[in-house]
Amino acid sequence: MINLEPPKKAAALVNQAQQAAAEVFRPISRKYDRAEHAYPSELDMFAALLDGLNTSGEGGAGAAGVRRGEDDGRSNGNRNGGNLSTVLGTIEMCWGDVALLLSMPRQGLGNAAIASVANDEQLKKFAGVWAAMAITEPGCGSDSAAITATAELDGDHYVLNGEKIFVTAGQRADAVVVWASLDRSKGRAAIKSFVVEKGTPGFEVVRLEHKLGIRASDTAVLRFENCRVPKENLLGTPEIDTKKGFAGVMQTFDNTRPLVAAMAVGVARAALEETRRILEEAGVTIDYDRPANTQHAAAAAFLQLEADYEAAYLLTLESAWMADNRKPNSLQASMAKAKAGRSVVDITLRCVELAGTLGYTEELLLEKWSRDSKILDIFEGTQQIQQLIVARRLLGKTSAELK
């Protein structure tokens, strides 16, 4: 029998994350939404606490990724490990504020990339480094294979040239994981990821973007001009394997997409809980023992939104559980990201509607959550890209056969 409850071993982590979200994130959520680009100094002490949890093996509640479970030969049973714990912690933290989570030192999406594909030496070298992720370019959005940034080997260094846009934590992070091509004539197989540390000559933060949502998180435009990066900073193998193609760097997404799905689940739950409170104060009863069509219209709408939330939540847990149990989870990661990304936008906007005038003002956080939610349907692969990946996996088609 499948147990759909969170594992007991994660209870302490979830409780800690919930307390942090309620006591640290929620109280300053509106403050830093208004003060766009101002660094939330309150996060420094909390980040140090998370570092301690990660070092102790308890697992933090941030967005840092963890390595895929490896078979130790001692157990053939199912396991609940670091991926599932991180997802559960992320849900709780984003119930507090998703932008503040994205602003947490050493909890960037670049950290998830390093955790996914770095070798043991690189893991030691970049331990404690806050890493952002730089993929998108001015002429390349959802189609990551169309990347034009280049990396040319010159002695013991790679020379990077190109521009990256919409880089979360691009200004504040200590380093950036940059996707670039070793040889553009060989297509997507030549795309590799490089860890570029701040202060490297030729690496420039051009500007910060003003955004619809997640305003507490800085989103930067970066430029690389003859930027020399040590060759040991290349993540994964330097060999160009045309048979394996793009799979090497794309493995990163199998770890980061469940995390973004978890962020969406956390925001959706926050909106649903606030809307339930408003409806109950207005005298609207939500009855789970009666058919939706026999209840108040607002209650029926709420039940539909809650069903979408539950589906996204379970898909997200499944994708993380599969990584913990050494199972390929590319399909499930894209399904979770697609469902959660679409659902959080639908849920938050409908919650604004159900709350009436209260939902549209800054008196509540509902309007903020509706603005924050849209990016969760876009970054780490848009809704349309996730559906395309799911279709390819289910139909057994290649990217060339199904575009």
| Contact present, 68 and 326 (Cβ < 8 Å) | yes
Give the relative orientation of helices 297-324 and 247-281 as an angle to the nearest 10 degrees: 150
DSSP state of 69: P
Marked catalytic residue, from 306, 318, 367, 380 = 380
Active site residue 380: yes
Query: Do the beta carbons of residue 202 and residue 224 sit within 8 Å?
Result: yes
The partner residues of 57 in beta bridges, in order of sequence, read none
Cα(93)–Cα(14) distance, integer angstroms: 9
C-alpha to C-alpha distance for 134 and 221, rounded to whole angstroms: 9
What SS3 class is residue 199? coil
Q: Which helix (H) or strand (E) holds 220?
A: strand 219-230
Q: State phi, psi for 179 to the nearest 5 degrees.
A: -90, 130
Number of other residues whose CB lies within 10 A of the CB of residue 228: 17
In angstroms, rounded to a whole number, what is the distance separating the alpha carbons of residues 243 and 358?
56
In the three-class reduction of DSSP (H, G, I as helix; E, B as strand; rest coil), residue 108 is classed as coil
Amino acid at 135: I
Do residues 191 and 147 touch, judged by C-beta distance below 8 A?
Answer: yes
Structure tokens at 244: 């394996």
Active site residues: 380
